[in-house]
Each structure stands twice: as C-alpha cells, then as structure tokens.
Copies of this chain bind each other. A is one copy, B any other.
Amino acid sequence: MTFDVGIDIGGTNIKLGLVDPRGRVVARRRLATRARRGPQQAMERIAETITNLRRFNKLRSIGVGVAGLVDHIHGIVRVPPNLPGWHGFTVRSTLEELTGLPVSCGNDANAVALGEWLFGAGRGCNNLFCLTLGTGVGGGAIVHGRLLVGANHAAGELGHTVIYGDGPECLCGGRGCLERYVGARYILQRARQRLRAQAKRAEHRNQMSFIAGVGEKPSILFDLASGRLSNVNPEMIGRAARRNDKLALELVQETGFYLGLGLINVVALLDPERIVIGGGLKGLGRPLLVGVRRTVLGRAQIFSGRKLEIVFGQLGNDAGIIGASRLARHLAQPRS
C-alpha cells in the first residue's frame, strides 16, 4: 500500500504520521520543534524521520500544516506567531530537496478542517466550519465543497474575529479578539484568578470563625491541581465541571458563551450546515458544547428549518496530520 505523510508543526511539537488512503494513521512520530533554533534543523530531523519510515513503507507525498499563515502556492510560511524566525521560510522547496517527495503546505487549522471534513465529524458537508481550540484559536472553512483559503491564504482566522469592539488588546495588534477570551492561556488566567479569590475569601472566613460553615464550598480544582494553581490545565477544568464544580462549570460555560459569540459571526457570514469543534480545549467537555449551542441558537438568526449542527470533532489529535496528508489534493498548486 502507498501512504501519504501528514505533518503538523506547532510551536512545541512536530507530529508526523503515515496516513493510508482511507485516512487512517498507521504510524506516528513526535519530534520537538525547537522553534528558536530555526526551521532548517527541524526540516532536517523531519527528513531523517521520513527516511526511516521509507525503509518499510511506500510513500507518495508529504503534506505539512504549520501554525501560521502559509502561502500554499509557493510553500512559504508567513507570520507564524509561535515560530519566531520562521517567517519567509520555504518549507516546500526545502523539504522536497531533502526528501525527493512532492510537498504541500497549508495552515494547521485548515489541515484540521480538511481532516474532519474528509474523514471525521464533517463528512458529507458542502459548507462546513471547523475550529481548533488550544493555545491559539484557529479555523478552516469548507465552502462549495472546497477548502476556503482566501486571497492571502488567511481565511478562517476565527481567533482574530472581534467579539467586543472595546475589549482588551490581543497579541495580534487588534482588540477584543475571540482568542483573547478563549485561548487556553486566558482561560487558565481566569481560572487562577478566581481560585485565588476563593482562597482569600476562605481565609477571611476562617478568621471570622463565628460565621464558620456558612461559606462556599472550595473548588475541587484545588485538589486536582494538588494545591498548586500553576498545575491547573484545561482537562482539569473539564473534569471538575463534569463533576459539577461551580467555579469550573462557570468557567466552561463562559468559554462556551464567548466561543458562541464568535460562531454567530461564522453563521452569519458563511452559513455552514455544520460546525465542528476540535483541538485540545475539547477537553473542556460537554458543558462547553452546551454553552456554545445555547449562545448560537439563542442569538443567531435561527429560522424554522435552518440546517445547523454544532458538534465535537472525531479525529482528536490526529486531525492535523490526517488533514495535512490530504493538502496536496485540496490546494491548487501551480508550480512556479
């Protein structure tokens, strides 16, 4: 059997997989990105890994999803926020030279959308939006049965849509961007602030011992994180929310609300028949989905008979490599 290689390059890790024609991952490798040492060393280690995989498998092509804007016509990375020093790097030609295989490049969230569309929760849709929740908030749209790349390879950037025109500054230079509310670091920031405030209130109550017993129940997140707020992560928040922890539940529902605001804009502009939520923050679990649905269905223009589903992705962490392995066939690529 012939396989395609799918590669997902993030700020911390590079995930690599052999994908069969039916979208199944038959082998996986994980490398450290070592982003600060520049792209060349990463490409060399990727090429080495591929050489090893090639000993026992027939490979046809390589697809690369990169966390940043990618000029897929020329195979060049642009404006990668978590890959400093990679701006302008020619992923395609470098990797083609090192491996001798044809290479295609695209944005990592677009690759996830492609994966979920072809083999996951978005199968059969002509108009789909797929978002990835994690450190950043990305997205990809399928429109008229084709991946929407836009005039500058920058379509689907859900994270930098505005939900509060007067909101706080975002790292992108804008204000009130969705990512500023639902990016992992901001959720964790809010979680820690509230846990700290709760601890303070508890301490205060202990001093006023005469009203002891009236106070709030401490969040189980203190236990889950073994008492260290720096340990708190999205999975813990999700677990606590599923166990009906008030503080965690509020955090997750609030995240769902913000995300819903962003998705109202997707619904209004793109009118997809299905929205797929993928990425690491899926770990926030069903209460997230409930919050998103409540917001979108409560506020967007929902008329009788409107086709609109909001679901979780099905491919989990493999979505990026599965989708990347199919970039070649789904991006127009005139060779220069």
Contact = CB atoms under 8 A, between A and B. Distances in A.
B264 A161 contact: yes
Contacts of A161: 264-265, 268-269
Interface stretch (A2-10, A52-60, A97-105, A152-160): A152-160
Nearest to A263: B162
B155 A270 contact: yes
Nearest to A126: B151
A301 B156 contact: no
Contacts of A143: 143-144, 148
Given A154-B306, A266-B269, A268-B158, A165 B301 contact: no
A271 B305 CA distance: 29
Contacts of A172: 301
B299 A175 contact: yes
A146 interface: yes
A78 interface: yes
Interface string A273-303: 1000000000000000000000000011101
A173 interface: yes
Interface string A293-324: 00000011101011110000000000000000
A164 interface: yes
A233 interface: no
A258 B300 contact: no
Copies of this chain per assembly:
2
Contacts of A307: 151-152
A111 interface: no
A308 B152 contact: yes
A227 interface: no
Interface in A158-183: 158, 160-166, 172-175
A141 interface: yes
A258 B268 CA distance: 17
A70 interface: no
B174 A270 contact: no
Contacts of A199: none
Contacts of A300: 160, 174
Contacts of A158: 268-269
Interface of A: 69, 78-79, 125-127, 139, 141, 143-144, 146, 148-158, 160-166, 172-175, 258, 261, 264-266, 268-273, 299-301, 303, 305-308
17 contacts: A78-B303, A127-B150, A127-B151, A143-B144, A149-B271, A151-B272, A152-B305, A157-B271, A158-B268, A160-B264, A161-B264, A162-B264, A164-B164, A164-B165, A164-B166, A265-B265, A266-B269
